[in-house]
């Protein structure tokens, strides 16, 4: 437990040795963005305290330290806590030095900075650095630390081995050396201080159930993934469902493996877009009703997508949608609720299954990629999938159609699935009106005839013959054409209705199945 320091409290410094150039570079480039310049100044000041013994400084008061650093005692104490948090400093209190703990001598044990490999493999430190400096500076920093490899085509290694220069050590000498190393601690260039995170609010077992239900193999659920998940969820304040979506987006589409280094980058973008959507969502009808004095709370306000509604909440949500969209049918409202209840990947799979196909890897990647780019809510993305596959009768979800339609909806500020349905219908009606107007224009168009154009004189008996032939041809062909057009429209309506019925059945079974599994697990 950290306690505040007293200006009249003495301290000692214990350190191993001076910093190597790479360690100094690590301290300035990796640690300083996290702890700040004052904490690094405190570290270097403690490191260069006059030594009384080989590895321990003289006993001085904190008043001299803050005077030397030209800072206040509270600033110095905060810098000390920052160094302790990242594993650069360990603090001990000598209980035998004074009766009052406020005047007991403190022992500062300085730890060596981690090298670049150890630092990046620590999920907490690397994630904090990524969030602090941003993705561009983060990857620029990685390029600075990269070592250029020697061109094997140009150079041939001729380095001598140990056996080429020295004799082998005898077995008895080896045993003596190993015995002398027992229970001894030596100066080292790396720190043994562990920096770990504890996220008590995150249910990792629940996260595992979610991620395994998406088809992720258990061999990928390693301890390293757990550390990254716990660190990222705490840093970006993500729950189990949101963390599952982040990990799914981090899966490589070629190797089907989770890319641990991509998790913090995706979580940062997801949080950024969520913060951008927050002011926009504040203007939705649900929040406006509360501002107008209506204390009724929507089930959406208490949950995160995908919304795990109970039976009572589904009825309440149906009533809200009927009030907000009185022109909607029961099927429309059922579709809105289904879009709100299912994850995007599962919705795509079930929609393709309702059409008698299956979701390809490219289609799933397009949907995941769109989630990182658009400000549209995830439930609107579900309706977008339905719109392309069912309403527009597309065979597959193509990247161009998906992004073009999402961009159009985002520019029109569609906030909910109901608004997206209204917009798609109004656009279809406008398109139909334009087609009718164009047909009328083609019918009313009369070709221009010059006044002085010479007309051929046709006998009356020939005119009567041509008119009789044209009328007989029209009587034969007109019923067939009308029947073909009406039959095509009827078949199209039946096809869409059948797909919606199969989709509703599949999605309903999936939602009920998820609800039953969740209740059994609880």
**DSSP β-ladder status, 60-61 and 89-93:** unpaired
**38 has a pLDDT exceeding 90:** yes
Last residue of a domain, one of 220, 252, 279: 279
Residues in the chain: 522
Pair 129, 33: CB distance under 8 Å? yes
Using alpha carbons, list the distances in angstroms from residue 82 to 43, 76, 261, 521.
10, 10, 25, 41
Residues 296 and 329 in one domain: yes
Residues 250 and 311 in one domain: no
The secondary element (H helix, E strand) that includes residue 316 is helix 311-324
User: Any idea what the CATH number is for the domain that residue 90 is in?
Assistant: 1.10.10
Question: How sure is the predictor about 260, in pLDDT bands with cuts at 50, 70 and 90?
Answer: confident
Which residues are CB-contacts of 252 (< 8 A; sequence separation ≥ 6)?
258, 259
Q: Is 63 exposed, middle or buried (0-12, 13-18, 19+ CB in 10 A)?
A: middle
Question: How sure is the predictor about 282, in pLDDT bands with cuts at 50, 70 and 90?
Answer: very low
Pair 125, 119: CB distance under 8 Å? yes
Q: Is 328 exposed, middle or buried (0-12, 13-18, 19+ CB in 10 A)?
A: middle
Give domain status of residue 506, yes or no.
no
Q: Mind listing the pLDDT tens digit for each residue in 290-318? A: 444 444 555 555 556 667 778 888 888 88
Last residue of a domain, one of 421, 454, 472: 421
Question: How sure is the predictor about 39, in pLDDT bands with cuts at 50, 70 and 90?
Answer: very high
Residues 264 and 294 in one domain: no
Residues 375 and 406 in one domain: yes
Last residue of a domain, one of 226, 258, 279: 279
Which residues are CB-contacts of 194 (< 8 A; sequence separation ≥ 6)?
87
The pLDDT, as a whole number, for residue 76 is 92
What is the residue-averaged pLDDT of the chain? 76
Mean pLDDT of 46-51: 85
Q: Mind listing the pLDDT tens digit for each residue in 433-446? A: 888 888 777 766 55
Residues 360 and 271 in one domain: no
Q: Mind listing the pLDDT tens digit for each residue in 6-33? A: 888 899 998 767 788 888 888 999 999 9
Residues 382 and 400 in one domain: yes
**484 has a pLDDT exceeding 60:** no
Q: How far apart are CA 339 and CA 332, in angstroms?
A: 11
Helix ranges restricted to H, 330-416: 330-341, 344-354, 361-371, 378-386, 399-411
Residue with the larger pLDDT of the pair 248 and 453: 248
Q: How far apart are CA 3 and CA 62, in angstroms?
A: 14
Give domain status of residue 260, yes or no.
yes
Mean pLDDT of 445-470: 60
The pLDDT, as a whole number, for residue 290 is 43
Q: How far apart are CA 342 and CA 345, in angstroms?
A: 8
Which residues are CB-contacts of 320 (< 8 A; sequence separation ≥ 6)?
286, 298
The most confident of the ranges 192-196, 315-319, 402-406 is 402-406
Residues 274 and 307 in one domain: no
Residues 299 and 417 in one domain: yes
Question: How sure is the predictor about 455, in pLDDT bands with cuts at 50, 70 and 90?
Answer: low
Give domain status of residue 410, yes or no.
yes
Residues 298 and 246 in one domain: no
Question: Which domain does 44 fall in, by range?
Answer: 10-114
Residues 275 and 212 in one domain: yes
Pair 340, 306: CB distance under 8 Å? yes
The pLDDT, as a whole number, for residue 381 is 92
Q: Which residues of 248-278 are buried (b: 16+ CB within 10 A; e: fewer)?
A: bbbbeeeeeebebeebbbbbbbbbebeeeee
Q: Mind listing the pLDDT tens digit for each residue in 356-382? A: 888 888 888 888 888 878 888 888 999
One DSSP character per residue, 55-105 reads SBB--EEHHHHHHHHT--HHHHHHHHHHHHHTTSEEEEE-TTS-SSGGGSP
**244 has a pLDDT exceeding 60:** yes
Q: How far apart are CA 157 and CA 149, in angstroms?
A: 13
The pLDDT, as a whole number, for residue 469 is 65
Domains in the chain, number:
3
| Other CB atoms within 10 A of residue 404 CB | 11
CA 509 from chain center: how many Å? 28
Pair 14, 56: CB distance under 8 Å? yes
- In three-state secondary structure terms, 106 is strand
- Pick the range with the lowest mean pLDDT from 10-19, 395-404, 411-420, 466-475: 466-475
- Pick the range with the lowest mean pLDDT from 113-117, 122-126, 332-336, 467-471: 467-471
Give domain status of residue 297, yes or no.
yes
Give domain status of residue 30, yes or no.
yes
Residues 244 and 329 in one domain: no
**489 has a pLDDT exceeding 60:** no
Give domain status of residue 327, yes or no.
yes
Give domain status of residue 148, yes or no.
no
Handedness of CA 209, 211, 216, 222 (dihedral sign): negative
Residues 309 and 331 in one domain: yes
Q: What is the pTM of this model?
A: 0.43
Give domain status of residue 517, yes or no.
no
Q: How far apart are CA 363 and CA 349, in angstroms?
A: 10
């Amino acid at each position: 437990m950290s306690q505040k320091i007293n200006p009249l409290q003495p301290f000692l410094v214990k350190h191993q040795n001076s910093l190597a150039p790479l360690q100094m570079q690590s301290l300035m480039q990796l640690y300083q963005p996290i702890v700040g310049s004052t904490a690094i100044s405190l570290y270097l000041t403690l490191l260069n305290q006059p030594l009384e013994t080989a590895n321990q400084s003289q006993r001085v008061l904190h008043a001299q330290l803050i005077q030397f650093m030209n800072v206040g005692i509270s600033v110095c104490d905060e810098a000390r806590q920052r160094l302790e948090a990242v594993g650069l400093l360990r603090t001990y209190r000598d209980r035998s030095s004074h009766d009052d703990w406020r005047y007991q001598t403190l022992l500062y044990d300085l730890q060596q900075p981690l090298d670049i490999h150890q630092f990046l493999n620590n999920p907490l430190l690397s994630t904090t650095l990524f969030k602090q400096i941003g993705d561009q500076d983060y990857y620029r920093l990685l390029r600075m630390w990269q070592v250029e490899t020697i061109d094997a085509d140009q150079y041939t290694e001729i380095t001598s081995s140990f056996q080429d220069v020295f004799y082998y050590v005898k077995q008895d000498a080896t045993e003596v050396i190993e015995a002398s190393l027992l229970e001894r601690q030596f100066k080292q260039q790396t720190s043994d201080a562990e920096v770990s995170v504890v996220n008590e609010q995150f249910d990792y077992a629940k996260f595992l159930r979610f991620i395994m239900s998406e088809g992720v193999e258990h061999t990928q659920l390693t301890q390293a993934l757990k550390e990254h998940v716990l660190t990222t969820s705490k840093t970006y304040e993500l729950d189990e469902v949101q963390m599952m979506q982040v990990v799914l987006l981090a899966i490589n589409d070629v190797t089907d493996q989770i890319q641990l280094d991509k998790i913090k980058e995706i979580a940062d973008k997801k949080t950024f877009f969520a913060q951008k959507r927050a002011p926009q969502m504040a203007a939705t009808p649900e929040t406006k009703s509360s501002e107008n004095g209506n204390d009724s709370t929507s089930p959406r306000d208490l949950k995160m997508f995908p919304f795990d509604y109970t039976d009572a909440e589904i009825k309440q949500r149906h009533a809200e949608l009927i009030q907000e969209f009185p022109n909607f049918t029961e099927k429309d409202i059922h579709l809105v609720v289904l879009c709100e209840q299912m994850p995007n990947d599962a919705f795509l799979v079930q929609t393709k299954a309702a059409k008698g196909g299956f979701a390809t890897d490219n289609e799933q990647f397009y949907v995941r990629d769109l989630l990182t780019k658009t400000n549209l809510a995830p439930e609107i993305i579900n309706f977008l999938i339905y719109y392309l596959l069912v309403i527009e009768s597309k065979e597959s979800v193509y990247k161009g159609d998906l992004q073009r339609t999402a961009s159009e909806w985002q520019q029109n500020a569609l906030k909910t699935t109901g608004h997206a349905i209204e917009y798609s219908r109004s656009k279809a009606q406008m398109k139909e009106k334009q087609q009718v107007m164009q047909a009328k224009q083609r019918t009313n168009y009369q070709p221009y005839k010059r006044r002085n154009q010479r007309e051929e004189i046709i006998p009356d008996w020939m005119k009567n013959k041509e008119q009789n032939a044209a009328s007989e041809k029209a009587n034969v062909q007109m019923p067939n054409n009308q029947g073909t057009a009406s039959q095509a429209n009827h078949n199209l309506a039946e096809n869409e209705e059948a797909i919606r019925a199969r989709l509703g059945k599949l999605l309903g079974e999936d939602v009920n199945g998820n609800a039953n599994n969740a209740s059994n697990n609880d």
